[in-house]
Structure 1
Amino acid sequence: MSLSSRIICNALFTSGGTNVFVCNTCNNTYRSSNGYSNLLNHLRRHHPAYEQLARSALREGNALQLRVVDQRTVDVYRLVEWIVVDKLPFSFCERPNVRANTKLSKINRQTVNIYVVAIADCVEARMKRDLTSQFGVVLDGWTRGGRHYLAIFAVFNGKREGAGVGTQTSADVFDDIHCTTRQFVLLAFCPLEDETDLVAQSVYALLADTLSRYDRPWQAVTFMVGDNCSVNQSIGRKVEAVPFIGCASYRFNLARKDYLAKEDALLEKTHALMKRFSTMKGRAVLRQVTPLAPVLRNATRWSSTYAMVERYITLEKCFRELDHGTVSKHDLGSVFLSRREHDKAKTLLGDLARLEGVTKMLQRSTLTMSATRRLLDQVVQNYPAMKDRLSATAAVVNYSALETGLVKIQRGENLNAAERTACASFRATSEPEDHEDGAEDHASIVSVAFKRRKVSKRAKYVDVNFVPPTSNQCKRFFSAAKLQLTDLRMKMDAERIEKVMLLPFNRTMRDVYTVEMVRGRQQ
């Protein structure tokens, strides 16, 4: 492979100051303010075998034959990594304090933008080449700044040495709780083409465009995970559509909401109390007895009800420290909970704490479908009122045979006819032959007669432990996107937003050599 002009000049010249270079062979000095033309002309005239000289210089300076990149490439990589991972503006590199307190090479925001776009294009090209032939899709929607974005992730079994299923070592715990080989790759993050028509067909078309973007047919997608909303379920019900798996976290949130409906009056009064103390005067009164702030319930935050009730129980002792004059002056007596309501809130907090533990467990990115099924079954056992939402055959489940079939495959159980049909796409293409351990030639008849035969089971299905039970990967992504797409960056177009978010969430698809390749193309 021929060396680039930059590598040749770095190997055969030494920097003698700003835009000044000294030839390592003849010690002649040349100036080169833009590019390598003057340096290459010198090499062609006086050192015709400069390519061989450059290779020899690289070998002598790299005895282990390691792939070494120049300092400028490393600086560009570190700066781009700093900006995209920490969600900083592109102008960050031009701040005086940054340049004064770092040893990185100077670079302007326009150059950073060029590198971000070029690196993102290289990542997409690598994804197109290396993405597995069979994978699942995890998708969800997010509204920000009057635009509705859709995030699409590919999920597959990224086998790694020393990784697998089951991180628990206790014999009392099931060994199919966690899958450490599950790997997510961000495929797309963009608004729908026609945002005035947010129907299933628009989402279906965006999925098709995303697959064509990476040269993958519909048959490459073996399943889809998303919220149990009408749009996603409509996609799952299409003829020859992708099998749809509903988000377990979404179902559990609906079940908890139904369960708490009977306590709406108590929760509304608690919310009104917290809201009274969240005003400027209310906070001033509260600071007289405690530095803690009130917590309000948020309909879009699954854990906010638990946080509000927990904070109320903590603040109730502080409320009692307020003197009668302060309570009368600010008319707080009408919003305080009665003793009976307070006792109900304490009892409710116990239930909310137990349900909060389930919510936190469902948030884990390594949780398997088998573990999720065990978790939801235990919730139904403790709270039978949630059965209509959380049972394996609940009405909200789009394709119950698929979900129960995947759970049985993970547990090594037999599937019924409907489950075998639903899980046909997970059937292994090649099946190993059954075999028995033969007896040793010199073993006695008695030992052979009573020896247990080890017969390996026929592997009919591929490893499905990587199938995620929730779409929480998208929720985590949206939390990061919210920090990136702040009010000061709303002018960023959708294409640039996608490229900026593509880099931190696909970090395994790029490294410093990607920047080296980009710089080589720019020479």
Structure 2
Amino acid sequence: MSLSSRTICNALFTSGGTNVFVCNTCNDTYRSSNGYSNLLNHLRRHHPAYEQLARSALREGNALQLRVVDQRTVDVYRWVEWIVVDKLPFSFCERPNVRANTKLSKINRQTVKIYVVAITDCVEARMKRDLPSPFGVVLDGWTHGGRHYLAIFAVFNGKREGAGVGTQTSADVFDDIHCTTRQFVLLAFCPLEDETDLGAQSVFDLLADTLSRYDRPWQAVTFMVGDNCSVNQSIVRKVGAVPFIGCASHRFNLAMKDYLAKEDALLEKIHALMKRFSTLKGRAVLRQVTPLAPVLRNATRWSSTYAMVERYIALEKCFRGLDHGTVSKHDLGSVFLSRREHGEAKTLLGDLARMEGVTKMLQRSTLTMSATRRLFNQVVQNYPDMKDRLSATAAIINYPALETGLVKIQRGENLNAAERTACASFRASSEPEDHEDGAEDHASIVSEAFKRRKVSKRAKYVDVSFVPPTSNQCERFFSAAKLQLTDLRMKMDAETIEKVMLLSFNRTMWDVYTVEMVRGRQQ
């Protein structure tokens, strides 16, 4: 295979400064600001066998026959990696202090953006080639800076040697709790084409365009995971054959809202107390007895209610340290809780602490459908009022036969007729049975009587432990995107944001050799 011009020149010339190169054979000095024409002309005139010299130089400098990458390519790769992974602005590479404190060769923001675009094209081409079929889709929406973005992930079983389901070593713990082979790939992160229409049809069109972008038909999608909202339910009805799995975290959040509704009067009083101490004068009073700050709840996450009650219990002892004059001056007596209400708050905190443990477990990226079902069954056993939301046959579940079927497949249990129909897409391809030779056809009655029957064998299914019970991967991704889309970078266009976040999330799909390939195409 012929060597590229860059490889030849890197092997036979030494950098003598900015755009200055010294021939390793005759020590002649040449300038080359754009391309390798001057250097190659020198080699053709004075060293006709320069290709053999280059191969020899590469062999001598690389005795193990490793793939050698030139220093400029490594520097470009380090700049792109630094900016993308640490979520820095493109102008970071032009800051005087950065250039003064790094040994990387200089680069400007326009060049960084060019490489980000080119590397993204390579990553998308790789995903188009390597994305397995079938796979699942996980999606969720996020509103930030006056725009609504949609993140679409592909999830599949990225089987690795020595990895699998169940990482516990204790015999007292089920071995179907975690899946270490589940793999997510970010396919798209962008606003809807028509931002004035946030309906199901717009989301459906974006999802269809994303699948076409990677040359995948709808038939390649075996399931979809998302919030239990009307838009997602409408999408799966439009597609028809794509089963929908509602996010377990979203379902648990709704169950907790129902559970906390009966404590609304107590929570409103705690919230009013915290709000009183959140004012400037209230904070000044509170600082006299404690450095702790008040915590308010919000309507989106029930965990904020837990944080508020927990902080109230911690501050209650400090409230007793306030003198009567201070309490009277700021009219704090009207917002303090009574002894009975304080006792109720302590009891409620114990229940919320147990529920917080469930929420944190649901946030695990390796949690399986089977583990989630065990978790919800235990919650229902301790708190029967949550059965309407968390039971396996709850009305909020769109495909109960699918979810119970996946749990049974993972546990190796028998499926009923409805579950077998719902899980048909997860059935393993049948292998041809080995026919016995002719002598077995005339076997004796004795051998037939004691022969183990194979006809009762259950249908085989693929490993379904990779199917995620929640769409929390999207939530974690949005937290990272928020660090990228700061108030100082709101000018960044949506296409550039998508490319940067795609490279950041799919970090394992590009490396220094990807940059080398990009630079080779630019020559």
CA distance in 2, matches of 1:376, 1:434: 43
Deviation string for 1:372-397 (max 9, x for gaps)? 00100111111100000011111110
**3-state DSSP of counterpart to 2:64:** coil
Deviation string for 1:184-236 (max 9, x for gaps)? 00000011111222111111111110000000111110000000001111222
Deviation string for 1:310-336 (max 9, x for gaps)? 010000000110111111111111111
Distance 1:461 1:431, change over 3 A: farther
Aligned alpha-carbon RMSD (Å): 3.2
CA distance in 2, matches of 1:304, 1:443: 72
Deviation string for 1:45-71 (max 9, x for gaps)? 222222222122111100101112112
CA distance in 2, matches of 1:486, 1:402: 41
Distance 1:95 1:438, change over 3 A: farther
Contact in 2 for aligned 1:137/1:155 (Cα 8 Å): yes
Which segment drifts farther, 320-329 or 466-475? Answer: 320-329
**3-state DSSP of counterpart to 1:413:** coil
Which segment drifts farther, 50-59 or 453-462? Answer: 453-462
Normalising to structure 2: TM-score of the pair?
A: 0.95
Give 1:445 shift: 19
Contact in 1 for aligned 2:256/2:302 (Cα 8 Å): no
Deviation string for 1:332-365 (max 9, x for gaps)? 1111111111111000001100100000000000
Contact in 2 for aligned 1:434/1:457 (Cα 8 Å): no
Give 1:519 shift: 1.1
CA distance in 2, matches of 1:89, 1:207: 29
Distance 1:409 1:35, change over 3 A: same
Structure 2 residue runs of 5 or longer lacking an equivalent are none
Deviation string for 1:393-439 (max 9, x for gaps)? 11110111111111110011111111111111111113475999999
Distance 1:443 1:435, change over 3 A: closer
Map of 2:268 onto structure 1? 268
Distance 1:268 1:406, change over 3 A: same
Distance 1:191 1:437, change over 3 A: farther
Identical residues among aligned pairs (%): 93
Give 1:493 shift: 1.1
CA distance in 2, matches of 1:197, 1:78: 41
Distance 1:452 1:351, change over 3 A: farther
**3-state DSSP of counterpart to 1:251:** helix
Contact in 2 for aligned 1:152/1:188 (Cα 8 Å): yes
Normalising to structure 1: TM-score of the pair?
A: 0.95
Give 1:147 shift: 1.1
The count of aligned residue pairs is 523
Which segment drifts farther, 443-452 or 24-33? Answer: 443-452
CA distance in 2, matches of 1:322, 1:426: 64
Which segment drifts farther, 432-441 or 321-330? Answer: 432-441
**3-state DSSP of counterpart to 1:15:** strand
**3-state DSSP of counterpart to 1:393:** coil
Which segment drifts farther, 471-480 or 11-20? Answer: 11-20
Contact in 1 for aligned 2:179/2:367 (Cα 8 Å): yes
Give 1:74 shift: 1.3
CA distance in 2, matches of 1:234, 1:300: 23
Contact in 2 for aligned 1:435/1:455 (Cα 8 Å): no
**3-state DSSP of counterpart to 1:370:** helix
CA distance in 1, matches of 2:417, 2:459: 18
**3-state DSSP of counterpart to 1:237:** helix
Contact in 1 for aligned 2:257/2:302 (Cα 8 Å): no
Give 1:162 shift: 1.0
Give 1:291 shift: 0.8
Structural mapping, 1:301-320, within 5 Å: 301-320=301-320
Contact in 2 for aligned 1:236/1:398 (Cα 8 Å): no
